[in-house]
Chain A
């Protein structure tokens, strides 16, 4: 007797595709951290145990905050993916080494809670969490992270004055003493890691090569800075610094490669990325030239974060789509 009874195995059934390129979010996060490692080592080399203290404290505080918040809200705990560790590290790298411990803890906590978790967690945040944490401490206890006097207690073999403050106070005459090679090599005052301009840029290029960030945002960010600074400089070379000085000082590199590219708060479409980057660069130089803040990078990025959802409405054309009607044929 023929039988068409079905012999079942316990087969796995799922939707296509049945393959994956092996990438993972945690892989991306740890690659970001690896890309920042040279700058972190540089910070320790220059500022010694102070830098180490701030970095470990900041990472630990960020990770603990994420853990506690997720426990409290009964969310699955995802500390191991490295995202909060990266947030903590980035936050530390833009601080001066001598900040008090409570400021680090509060900043990291705010970054994770207000910057990320209240929006539903990773991927939902409209602003860069690191910058939310930074803005909170900058507005509340600005004098503690003021770079003007932050380095006065360190024995540095380069000027302990913050180039951008000098530029703002004394104009172009104030920055004549800076050698651009020194600036490039990180022999300048700034955030403990973000001042290592060359190392940060190399780390960023590594991320681009590994495919974790698009080149469009950093490139257009730097182009925006250079272009705007050039325009100012052409108007008055004695009032405004030249574009190269702008590119090599402050937080431009860490901003362009590591902060503006934060996944959730930056655009995903090509044109939008370019506009976003240019906007960041443009606003940065504007703030540097006309505002009270010596470095405008962080506020520029935060402002462009607000515009991001709008920018991402600029989508590529869909082939074969009837523009008027918009429905499938």
Chain B
């Protein structure tokens, strides 16, 4: 992708996809994999054994009785093993799918969630893995439904908004209460205007504002969106995505979260299609169903071009936070490295947070992590704009990631020492 005008004086404008893609249903594969991220060396120990029968929506607990995950399918657990994906370690539970879904009768509607007080509702949600990013103090001035996509090339929200309008509307109402917010704002690109309006009205009544946002990356990042709204002065928002709201409502109403997920599948020629996939489906199966081939030298990206993470194998399952699976063919793989910075300042001119990416990169390169902190590294949202425009092709975001990790490690050690 090379979006640069002949008259390059405007900063590059990376547009989110405005196209609505057809949705293809992916049949269940023979198995589903549930992954649980390990924390530290031990990680939570799942209290399941091979041969155990699980039903769709059934709860999987750890050895201490805490809810770990929901089974997305009905079948028999056939293997529990360790799985790595890039820098993260997971415990994987593989389930051989036995038959058509049998819905777990132990998972049911969360009783009385409509009348619960905010504290217990939030606790209920947190137990199920829904951590609401409420502003400090617990009160938000607005709930913003972020209908822009999470990255370039992805185009799932049109389908989500169309298919789950009622659920999302109910969810927004609930969130408005939880956050004691004064307003609900549906932020969408012009292409989604009608879809957004449909959610903003209940009967004849308007229950939310619709705010049209220019679909220019990185407007769709939760940190940026409140600043680019037409409505000014939103300072302490609760920003949520349609997928998350829908999943949350489904959990409250049925006792288990949304188990199907729409993702955009992008092949090596940038051809795209949307797939409706059961969570836990191995990515290799999605690729097969989409007739997407993968070969040596390609990149397998979970997410989009600017922020996706690359995987080194295709046996990782589709999880709730994966919005796209993208194959980048070897001829379009960009390599970035440690060529010295020339001080041209392009990175500075595109950073949405007004940071100094060239300095962050240089300091990180020479292990001066504390200086990175002086230069506000904590405010970097890793949007990737700086590395996208750097003529020296410096791996700026990777340097920044390194510095953040080292700083966090140091802080962890310091906290440990105090104890």
Contact = CB atoms under 8 A, between A and B. Distances in A.
B7 to A, nearest CB: 5
The binding surface of chain A is classed by DSSP as loop
A28 B81 contact: no
A15 interface: yes
A14 B310 contact: yes
Given A28-B391, A318-B376, A17 B314 contact: no
A24 interface: yes
Size bracket of the A interface: 35 or more
A214 B346 CA distance: 9
A328 B373 CA distance: 9
Nearest to B357: A268
B314 A7 contact: yes
A20 to B, nearest CB: 4
Given A124-B340, A318-B355, A12 B9 contact: no
A209 B4 CA distance: 12
Nearest to B282: A4
Contacts, number: 194
B389 to A, nearest CB: 5
A321 B79 contact: no
Contacts of A268: 343-345, 348-349, 356, 358
A123 B391 CA distance: 12
Contact of A328 (B294, B339, B379): B379
A6 B314 CA distance: 8
B contacts with A: majority SS: loop
Contacts of A11: 294, 296-300, 310-313
B49 to A, nearest CB: 15
B287 to A, nearest CB: 11
Q: Which of A19, A22, A211 has the most CB of B within 10 A?
A: A19
A4 B379 contact: no
A22 B384 CA distance: 15
A122 interface: yes
Contacts of A25: 339, 342, 344, 391-392
A324 interface: no
A328 B307 contact: no
13 contacts: A2-B78, A8-B312, A9-B298, A10-B297, A11-B299, A15-B401, A209-B9, A211-B8, A212-B344, A266-B343, A268-B343, A319-B227, A327-B378
Interface of B: 1-4, 7-10, 12, 30-31, 33, 78-79, 81, 86, 92, 94, 96, 136, 152, 223, 227, 284, 294-301, 303, 305-315, 326, 328, 330, 333-336, 339-346, 348-349, 353-356, 358, 373, 376, 378-379, 382, 384, 387-393, 395, 397-398, 401
Given A2-B78, A21-B389, A209-B8, 9 more contacts: A11-B296, A15-B398, A18-B305, A20-B388, A25-B344, A208-B9, A263-B343, A265-B343, A318-B379
